[in-house]
A = this chain, B = another copy of it.
Amino acid sequence: MNMRIPILKLNEILIVSLQWELDDQTAIQFQEDLLKKLHDTSAKGVVIDLTPIDFIDSFIAKVLGDVISMSGLMGAKVVITGIQPAVAITLIELGIRLENVMTALDLENGMDKLQQELEA
């Protein structure tokens, strides 16, 4: 079974909703797919919703940090939404500070924030 994370495109924004803890291979595939889709669609922003995720391990946290940095390099603004307490703790403990990243409570707020940012 091909376990790909769905990446939706809505206007200039890519939307990713993670629903389960990723295994390593799916995470790498996701990184590849997202960057390729950014390139193919010339999207200007990415929203990654982590709402259902209540735990991430260090490998996935690193991939997530990398994806965000890489998307930034490719010219896209990134918003992460729905970070749960345990996920926030893991990210900070691993030194993944997400400094240039916007965050928001949920997908809808994240989309609004990103829209405003893109229009600014």
* B6-A6 in contact (CB<8A): yes
Contact with B along A1-38 (1 / 0, CB 8 A): 11110101111000101111001000000000000000
How far, in whole Å, are A9 and B111 apart by their CA atoms in the complex?
A: 11
Copies in the complex: 2
Which of B1, B2, B111 interacts with A10 by CB under 8 Å?
B111
Q: Could you tell me the distance in whole angstroms from the C-beta of A51 to the nearest C-beta in chain B?
A: 10
* A17-B10 in contact (CB<8A): no
Residues of B within 8 A of A11 (CB): 108
How far, in whole Å, are A4 and B108 apart by their CA atoms in the complex?
A: 21
Residues of B within 8 A of A23 (CB): 1
Residues of B within 8 A of A111 (CB): 10
Q: What would 22 A/B residue contacts be, using CB atoms closer than 8 Å?
A: A1-B3, A1-B20, A1-B23, A2-B19, A2-B20, A3-B3, A4-B19, A6-B6, A6-B17, A6-B19, A8-B8, A8-B15, A8-B17, A8-B49, A8-B107, A9-B107, A10-B10, A10-B107, A10-B108, A10-B111, A11-B108, A15-B15
